[in-house]
Structure 1
Amino acid sequence: MKRRPASFPACASAESSTRSVRNNFSGRWCRMNKMALKIAVIGGGNGNFTAAAEMALAGHTVSLWSDAPGRHERLFSDRSIHLEGILGRGEASLARVSQDPKEVIDGADVIIAFMPAYTQEKTAHIIGPHLEDGQIVFLCPGSLGSYLLCTIWKENGWLKDVAVAEPGTLPYLARKTGLNTVQVSGRAVRLPVGVFPARKTEEATGVLKELYPAIHSVENAMSVSLLNVGPILHSVLVLLNTGPIEHLPAWDIHNEGTTPSVKKLILAQDRERVAVRSAMGFQSHPYPFSDHYDPNSENEWMYGRKAHTDLVKSEKWREPLTFEHRYVREDVKCNLALLSSIGDFCGVETPIADGLLTLIGTITGENYRASGRTLASLGLADRTREELFRILQEGI
């Protein structure tokens, strides 16, 4: 049975929760308004490649860290990324590509780390020793990774006066199509962002809007974690496409794998997400996933009204899939387990999410409620509601 809390504290609006004292963070922010930003990109995946290329082409000074010089040999030698797709075509020159995170992070205004949630403990140890007061760390996806990283940084004596922001989705729909080439088929037109601690929201989102104008703030890091529809979408698509995934060398779960019946289950699970978010007291727009599927919806979804149609037409998501894919390791183990645990916390039944955790866990041989990212694994399950919201607002 889900436990039912007696009541929730009033949840401040995104605007009212952002007031804070401008100190070291403010000084860096003022300097950033006068010149191009210095950006550190941590990792060489699809999202990081795209961010590095777009920001370099926009005139910012971009350095990229990678621990895979063999896989990124051409990037290390050329320091360039070729960008294609809806953002246009261009050859982006990076200021530095290095295996040394200190070389990349030193003096950076913004640190972009669009890496899977299951790698965030490693990411914390890569970034942490080199943090400086006033920096903004931009993670993806929204999964309370901001709290996790700050906890690790504090335990190791690395925590500085920083803001850690998380979006509701990756700013791009992108795939690498060559060693140094990335093709973008979508870009967020509405990008909700939560910040930890929430008292730094105004400053952090003010800077990040210089990079991503579609950004708008939500209440806090938990609010934005409950806007992450990756677990809602991918858990269903993987389970209901088990046959093709295990039988065929490649499969497009967003094309042939998304049938009318599959959509019904996705949207039913999404209603659980929206119910949990409402019960937690969050009042910012919930981004129901039905808007993503409906190009004529009154409310535009994060990637815009044509995003789903364009995604299917692009056929860039036909790929080999296994139950080791990030759709499971990230979206089920980290994000769906987190959603279910927040449902437990606020007393909202999530039978579809719980069932998917059980069924996919049966296939993989793993109990995601025990091994996944949950409020319990983050050390938050036994907090009172007031304590939880105070931590999200003020930090640790």
Structure 2
Amino acid sequence: MRRHVITILGAGNSGLAHTAYFKHLGHEVRLFDFFQETVDRINQNGYIELTGYITDNIAFEAATTSMKDAVTGSEVIIVINPSQYHRKLAAELAKYLSPNQIIFINPGSTFGALAFKQALVDNGFTADVPIAESNTSVFPCRLIAPTKVYIGAKKDRILFSVFPSQGNLEKVSELVSSFLPEIQPVKNVLATSIDNTNPHVHVAPMILNCSWIESGQQFSFMHEAIGPTVEKIIAKMDAERLEIGKKLGLTLGKDLFSLQMQYEEEYNVTGKTTLREIFRGVDAYRQIYSPHSFEHRYITEDVPMGLTPLVDMGRQIGVPVPKSQMILNICEEVLEKNFTEGSGCRNMDNIGLKGLSAEEIVKYAETGSIN
């Protein structure tokens, strides 16, 4: 196995999990975070503790707040950070990025690679650089102490693509698969973005269980927050997501997957007939407990950075999304927040797709140009 130099941007739960995992595999790993306190705590501790699916203490003292030190000489720069912070990371990365490097948004949320490209351009970096993204993280995990991460499982596959895909997909996939073999390449980043179902499995159960969320009770979110009525809403939202994918040239079962298909592939959950049964069939979810506040990524990230761009995409390319729009409207009304305008969200305007037809969007994802 060739030893790679990997930079990870973001020292949260998933960032720490991937840092320790890649270090365990023998790679050189640098870890960047904006917060000095976070970096100091990791370096002073001297190791990252993994529990659950992987139980080990991984020696690690290479965290830094210097983007220059973190990325200089690195082959792959992996962004593992809530997507609402991607613009801030891109602004700092633009100062030190080299065209021969690869950026990997893991996961991209919805249209993450396209949004990151636009953010780099907005901050003066206009050179061509491959920007990969995945549909999800390989590890469902939670931070249970400052340097201790619980990993519920390791998924069997995650979707992976590159912007632009032409001339990049094969070589970038070959490199990334050498340290993350679970990736399954698909033809463009529209496939990975449309396959992000966090806005469906997180947002509807959150906003439709307001009182329970705010009660302070501890309960298994995916196992208990989704009753028959919420399940129906999620299924209808999922159908709308699939129609958007089809309009963007994706094929069901090949590079477009229903929720049921996803869970069969990623968690090997088979023989289940309803979404509730599927979610409850994932043992890794058992200890993933509900948030106690709406100031949580299931809302603060998955609405403005996931649900909003999906709804806006449907509107622009002529795909009706009434149930997704309804949940978005409820979130804005109940929480009294604007999730659809400004730099705090993703929409067709600020990711560079405003006014484009479905065919033009596909061409842009594959070539990097609509001309």
What's the TM-score, normalizing by structure 2? 0.89
Distance 1:159 1:47, change over 3 A: farther
After TM superposition, list the pairs within 5 Å mapping 1:12-91 onto structure 2: 35-86=2-53, 88-91=54-57
* Equivalent position SS for 2:37: coil
Q: 1:156 aligns with which of 123, 132, 137?
A: 123
Task: Give the Cα separation in 2 of the matches to 1:95 and 1:356.
Answer: 43
Partner in structure 1 of residue 273 of structure 2: none
Distance 1:366 1:65, change over 3 A: same
Partner in structure 2 of residue 9 of structure 1: none
* Equivalent position SS for 1:216: strand
Q: Which runs of 5+ in 1 are unaligned?
A: 1-33, 294-299
Shift in Å at residue 322 of structure 1? 2.0
Task: Give the Cα separation in 2 of the matches to 1:381 and 1:393.
Answer: 17
**Does the 8 Å CA contact 2:317/2:357 hold for their aligned counterparts?**
no
Task: Give the Cα separation in 1 of the matches to 2:3 and 2:184.
Answer: 21
Q: 1:239 aligns with which of 207, 212, 215?
A: 207
Q: Does residue 285 of structure 1 match 2:255?
A: yes
Q: 1:124 aligns with which of 90, 99, 124?
A: 90
Paired residue type of 1:93: A
Q: Does residue 393 of structure 1 match 2:366?
A: yes
Distance 1:192 1:43, change over 3 A: same
Question: What do residues 353-387 of structure 1 show as CA deviations (whole Å, max 9, x unaligned)?
Answer: 00001111101223433343111332312124444
Partner in structure 1 of residue 266 of structure 2: 302
After TM superposition, list the pairs within 5 Å mapping 1:1-396 onto structure 2: 35-86=2-53, 88-94=54-60, 96-139=62-105, 140-199=107-166, 200-248=168-216, 250-283=218-251, 284-291=254-261, 300-305=264-269, 308-309=279-280, 311=282, 315-371=286-342, 372-395=345-368
**Does the 8 Å CA contact 1:168/1:192 hold for their aligned counterparts?**
yes
Q: Which segment drifts farther, 184-193 or 224-233?
A: 184-193
* Equivalent position SS for 2:184: strand
Distance 1:381 1:53, change over 3 A: same
Paired residue type of 1:345: Q
Task: Give the Cα separation in 1 of the matches to 2:240 and 2:362.
Answer: 21
* Equivalent position SS for 1:237: helix
Task: Give the Cα separation in 2 of the matches to 1:222 and 1:152.
Answer: 18
Partner in structure 1 of residue 275 of structure 2: none
Distance 1:71 1:98, change over 3 A: closer
* Equivalent position SS for 1:301: helix
* Equivalent position SS for 1:192: strand
Task: Give the Cα separation in 2 of the matches to 1:154 and 1:82.
Answer: 38
Task: Give the Cα separation in 2 of the matches to 1:326 and 1:272.
Answer: 23
* Equivalent position SS for 1:175: strand
What's the TM-score, normalizing by structure 1? 0.84
Q: Which runs of 5+ in 2 are unaligned?
A: 271-277
**Count of aligned pairs:** 356
Task: Give the Cα separation in 2 of the matches to 1:190 and 1:95.
Answer: 30
* Equivalent position SS for 1:278: helix
Task: Give the Cα separation in 1 of the matches to 2:287 and 2:86.
Answer: 26
* Equivalent position SS for 1:189: coil
**Does the 8 Å CA contact 1:163/1:195 hold for their aligned counterparts?**
yes
Paired residue type of 2:13: N
Shift in Å at residue 251 of structure 1? 4.3
Paired residue type of 2:265: W
Question: What do residues 139-188 of structure 1 show as CA deviations (whole Å, max 9, x unaligned)?
Answer: 12332221222222223332444211111111110112222211211222
Shift in Å at residue 319 of structure 1? 4.4
Q: Which segment drifts farther, 306-315 or 51-60?
A: 306-315
Distance 1:315 1:188, change over 3 A: closer
* Equivalent position SS for 2:26: coil
User: Cα RMSD (Å) of the superposition?
Assistant: 2.2
Task: Give the Cα separation in 2 of the matches to 1:313 and 1:194.
Answer: 26
Question: What do residues 260-294 of structure 1 show as CA deviations (whole Å, max 9, x unaligned)?
Answer: 3322221221111111111221123322113466x
Task: Give the Cα separation in 2 of the matches to 1:50 and 1:277.
Answer: 31
Distance 1:163 1:321, change over 3 A: farther
**Does the 8 Å CA contact 2:152/2:284 hold for their aligned counterparts?**
no
